[in-house]
C-alpha cells in the first residue's frame, strides 16, 4: 500500500481536483480518438476554455473563428460547446439537422425557473414543446390577435413621445441632452405587462403601484439568481462550493406564482362576467382545457413572454437610435419618407407600415448589426450528428453566433457600414428563412413572437424619427459615440446613448389619448 502514501497528506478537495483532472484528460483523449471534433483553442483540464473566454463572448468567438474557422470547439468546463459563425453552417444547424439539435441544455437556475422545461423557451423538443408551440403560433401570435392588441402598442409609443416632448421643451431644459434608454424602457415594460397581463402598473403621472413594484422586484431577483451560479454550472466539482440556494429559488418562485395567480384570478372573474379582453392571459385561460395546459405551463409561458420581450425591444431601438444619430444622412432620409407618407398633420400608425419601406430597412439594418441576442440560446444534440463534416456528440451544445454571421464579409457587402439601402437592393427575410440574418432564430426554435417584436421596434423608431430630429450632445462628434457592448446574454450598450431631441411637428400631436384596453 506504499504507493498510496503520497496521497495521504493531501486534502480531500485536492484529491478530488486531481481525480477530476485525470478524468477530464481521459475524456478528452477518448473524444479525440472516437470523434472528429471541430478545431478550437486548447482547453485547460477541468475548466476547459472558461478562463480564456473574454467577457463579450460573441466578439471573442468571432475573433477565435478568424483563426480556427467558422466551426470550432469551445469547452465550458467539461461540456463541449460547438460555435458556428457562417450562414451555411447556421443552415445545417437550424434547418438540415434541426431535429437532432432542437433540445435545450438547462442549468440549475433555468430548470428551476421553467419547472424543468414546462414552458416554451427551456422545453426539450418533444410532445410538450410541439403542443405549447402550437398554442403560440395558432392562438397567441396570430395576425388577428396582434391587430386586436395594436391599440396597446400605439398607446405606449405615443406616451413615450409625450414624455420626451415634455422633457425637451420644459423651461430650462431646451437643448439639453436626454438619455434615450430611459424612455424606451418604459415603453417596453408597459407594453409587455399590458399584452401579457392586461396591466399597466404605471399611472399617467409615471407612478408605479404596489403590484408593479412587486413585479419589477421579481424580475430583478430572477436575473440576480440566474447570474449567481454561472461558473459553478460548468464545473460540477465547484457546485459544493456554490450550492443552489434552494430557499431563495423557492421564495422567488412562490412570489412569482402568487402575483401571476392573483392576476389570473382577476381575469377569470372578468371572463365570467363577460368582460374579458384579448390579452395573452385571457387567451391562455380560455385555451387551458382545449390544449390540456397545466398551471405551471401557463405561468411559464407568460413569463417567457415577459423575459423575451421586455429588454430586447428597448435594446434594439437604442442601438438603432445610436446608429441614426451617428448617420444623419440615414436619419434625414427616413424622415423624408415619413413626411412624404404621413405629413405634419397626424401621427404614424402601424397601418402606415406598408408605405414606409425605408423605415423597415432601417429596422432590418439595426437588427443585422446589433441583434439583441447575438449568440442564440444553445441547442443541445439529442443524438450524434455531423455539422460541417465534424462530429457533434450527443449531449453537446451548439451555439450560433448571429452577430458574427451578420458581419461576415463573404455574406454582406461592406458589412460594418450602417446602410439600410442594402435591403432595398435585395429582399432579405428577417424571420428565419435567410441564414445571413437571424435576429429571431430559425427552424423549430424560431421566436414565435417575431412579428410582434418587429411591429413594436418599427413603431417606436417611426414615432421617434417623425416627431423629433436627433443630434448628439453639443460638442460631441457623431462618429465618437461609443458603440461597445456590455457583457451578457443580451447586448445592452456599454454606455447609454445621449442625444438632443428637437420637435418637428405641431404641439398638439404630442399629446397622448390613453386607451383602456
Average pLDDT, stretch 313-337?
Answer: 97
Give the N- to C-terminal CA distance of the chain in Å, as an integer. 79
Average pLDDT, stretch 248-256?
Answer: 89
Say what the pLDDT of residue 238 is.
64
> 403, 343 in Cβ contact below 8 A?
no
Q: Residues 120-152, buried b or exposed e (16+ Cβ, 10 A)?
A: bbbbebeebbeebbebbeebbbeeebbeebbeb
Please list, in sequence order, all residues whose beta carbon lies within 8 angstroms of the beta carbon of residue 101, skipping any fewer than 6 positions away.
93, 94, 379, 380, 381, 382, 385, 392, 398
Can you tell me which residue has the cell 427552424? 443
Would the pLDDT of 253 be above 80? yes
Would the pLDDT of 46 be above 60? yes
Report the C-alpha gap between 103 and 1 in whole angstroms.
48
Class of domain 12-509: mainly alpha
Share of the chain above pLDDT 90, in %: 66
What's the pLDDT tens digit per position in 432-472? 999 999 999 999 999 999 999 999 999 999 999 999 999 99
Say what the pLDDT of residue 2 is.
47
Confirm or deny that 447 is annotated as ligand binding.
Answer: yes
* DSSP H helix total and E strand total for the chain: 19, 9
State how far Cα 349 lies from the chain centre: 25
Say what the pLDDT of residue 245 is.
72
- Cite the DSSP H helix spans in 246-400: 246-272, 280-291, 295-326, 328-341, 357-369
Sign, Cα dihedral of 259, 265, 268, 274? negative
Say what the pLDDT of residue 25 is.
58
Report the C-alpha gap between 210 and 368 in whole angstroms.
39
- For the chain, the average pLDDT equals 89
Report the C-alpha gap between 106 and 124 in whole angstroms.
9
> 402, 59 in Cβ contact below 8 A?
no
> 71, 38 in Cβ contact below 8 A?
yes
Average pLDDT, stretch 274-303?
Answer: 88
Report the C-alpha gap between 341 and 356 in whole angstroms.
7
Which residues lie across from 80 on neighbouring strands? Answer: 75
> 91, 398 in Cβ contact below 8 A?
no
Report the C-alpha gap between 215 and 256 in whole angstroms.
8
Average pLDDT, stretch 486-503?
Answer: 93
Say what the pLDDT of residue 242 is.
62
> 313, 456 in Cβ contact below 8 A?
yes
Would the pLDDT of 8 be above 70? no
Domain spans of the chain? 12-509
- State the Rg of the chain over Cα: 25
Q: Which H or E run includes 35?
A: none
Q: How confident is the model at residue 4 (pLDDT cuts 50, 70, 90)?
A: very low
Say what the pLDDT of residue 268 is.
87
Residue of 486, 492, 460, 496 whose CA lies nearest to 362: 460
What's the pLDDT tens digit per position in 87-115? 999 999 999 999 999 999 998 888 888 88
Would the pLDDT of 171 be above 80? no
Q: Please indicate whether residue 230 or residue 344 has the higher confidence score (pLDDT).
A: 344
pTM of the model: 0.90
Please list, in sequence order, all residues whose beta carbon lies within 8 angstroms of the beta carbon of residue 376, skipping any fewer than 6 positions away.
399, 400, 402, 438, 441, 445
What's the pLDDT tens digit per position in 393-445? 999 999 999 999 999 999 999 999 999 999 999 999 999 999 999 999 999 99
Strands 379-380, 385-387: pairing kind: unpaired
Report the C-alpha gap between 93 and 80 in whole angstroms.
16
Average pLDDT, stretch 204-232?
Answer: 78
Q: Please indicate whether residue 227 or residue 190 has the higher confidence score (pLDDT).
A: 190
Say what the pLDDT of residue 213 is.
87
- Order the strands of the 178-179 sheet from edge to edge: 178-179, 498-503, 468-471
Would the pLDDT of 1 be above 50? no
Say what the pLDDT of residue 260 is.
92
- Cite the DSSP H helix spans in 35-125: 57-68, 87-91, 108-113
Which residues lie across from 71 on neighbouring strands? Answer: 84
Report the C-alpha gap between 371 and 369 in whole angstroms.
6
Say what the pLDDT of residue 185 is.
86
Say what the pLDDT of residue 275 is.
65
Would the pLDDT of 227 be above 70? no
- Phi-psi map region of 70: left, alpha, beta (phi>0 left; psi -120 to 50 alpha): alpha
Report the C-alpha gap between 252 and 115 in whole angstroms.
13
Amino acid at each position: 500500500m506504499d504507493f498510496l502514501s503520497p496521497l495521504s497528506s493531501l486534502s480531500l478537495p485536492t484529491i478530488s481536483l486531481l481525480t477530476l483532472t485525470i478524468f477530464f484528460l481521459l475524456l478528452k483523449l477518448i473524444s479525440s480518438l472516437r470523434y472528429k471534433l471541430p478545431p478550437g483553442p486548447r482547453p485547460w483540464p477541468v475548466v476547459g476554455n472558461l478562463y480564456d473566454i473574454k467577457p463579450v463572448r460573441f466578439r471573442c468567438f468571432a475573433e477565435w473563428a478568424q483563426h480556427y474557422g467558422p466551426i470550432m470547439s469551445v469547452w465550458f468546463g467539461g461540456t463541449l460547446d460547438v460555435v458556428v459563425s457562417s450562414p451555411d453552417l447556421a443552415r445545417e444547424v437550424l434547418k438540415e439537422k434541426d431535429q437532432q439539435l432542437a433540445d435545450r441544455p438547462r442549468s440549475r437556475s433555468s430548470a428551476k425557473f421553467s419547472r424543468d422545461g414546462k414552458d416554451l423557451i427551456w422545453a426539450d423538443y418533444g410532445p410538450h414543446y410541439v403542443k405549447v408551440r402550437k398554442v403560440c403560433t395558432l392562438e397567441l401570435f396570430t395576425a388577428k390577435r396582434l391587430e386586436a392588441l395594436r391599440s396597446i402598442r400605439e398607446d405606449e409609443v405615443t406616451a413615450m413621445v409625450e414624455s420626451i416632448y415634455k422633457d425637451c421643451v420644459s423651461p430650462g431644459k431646451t437643448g439639453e441632452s436626454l438619455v434615450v434608454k430611459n424612455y424606451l424602457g418604459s415603453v417596453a415594460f408597459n407594453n409587455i405587462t399590458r399584452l401579457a397581463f392586461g396591466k399597466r402598473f404605471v399611472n399617467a403621472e409615471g407612478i408605479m403601484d404596489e403590484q408593479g413594484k412587486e413585479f419589477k422586484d421579481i424580475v430583478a431577483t430572477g436575473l440576480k439568481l440566474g447570474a449567481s451560479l454561472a461558473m459553478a454550472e460548468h464545473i460540477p466539482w465547484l457546485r459544493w462550493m456554490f450550492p443552489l440556494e434552494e430557499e431563495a429559488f423557492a421564495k422567488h418562485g412562490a412570489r412569482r406564482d402568487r402575483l401571476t395567480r392573483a392576476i389570473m384570478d382577476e381575469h377569470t372573474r372578468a371572463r365570467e362576467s363577460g368582460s374579458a379582453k384579448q390579452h395573452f392571459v385571457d387567451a391562455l385561460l380560455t385555451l387551458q382545457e382545449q390544449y390540456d395546459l397545466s398551471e405551471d405551463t401557463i405561468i411559464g409561458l407568460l413569463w417567457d413572454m415577459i423575459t423575451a420581450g421586455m429588454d430586447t425591444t428597448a435594446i434594439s431601438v437604442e442601438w438603432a437610435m445610436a446608429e441614426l444619430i451617428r448617420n444623419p444622412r440615414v436619419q434625414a432620409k427616413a424622415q423624408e419618407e415619413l413626411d412624404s407618407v404621413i405629413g405634419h398633420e397626424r401621427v404614424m400608425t402601424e397601418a402606415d407600415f406598408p408605405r414606409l419601406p425605408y423605415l423597415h430597412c432601417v429596422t432590418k439594418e439595426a437588427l443585422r448589426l446589433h441583434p439583441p441576442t447575438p449568440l442564440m440560446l444553445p441547442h443541445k444534440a439529442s443524438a450524434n450528428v455531423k455539422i460541417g463534416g465534424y462530429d457533434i456528440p450527443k449531449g453537446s451544445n451548439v451555439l450560433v453566433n448571429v452577430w458574427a454571421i451578420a458581419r461576415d464579409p463573404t455574406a454582406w457587402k461592406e458589412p460594418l457600414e450602417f446602410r439600410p439601402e442594402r435591403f432595398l437592393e435585395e429582399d432579405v427575410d428577417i424571420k428565419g428563412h435567410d441564414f445571413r440574418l437571424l435576429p429571431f432564430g430559425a427552424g423549430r426554435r424560431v421566436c414565435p413572437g417575431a412579428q410582434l417584436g418587429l411591429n413594436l421596434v418599427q413603431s417606436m423608431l417611426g414615432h421617434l424619427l417623425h416627431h423629433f430630429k436627433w443630434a448628439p450632445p453639443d460638442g460631441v462628434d457623431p462618429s465618437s459615440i461609443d458603440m461597445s457592448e456590455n457583457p451578457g446574454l443580451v447586448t445592452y450598450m456599454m454606455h447609454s446613448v445621449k442625444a438632443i431631441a428637437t420637435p418637428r411637428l405641431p404641439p398638439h400631436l404630442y399629446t397622448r389619448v390613453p386607451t383602456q384596453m
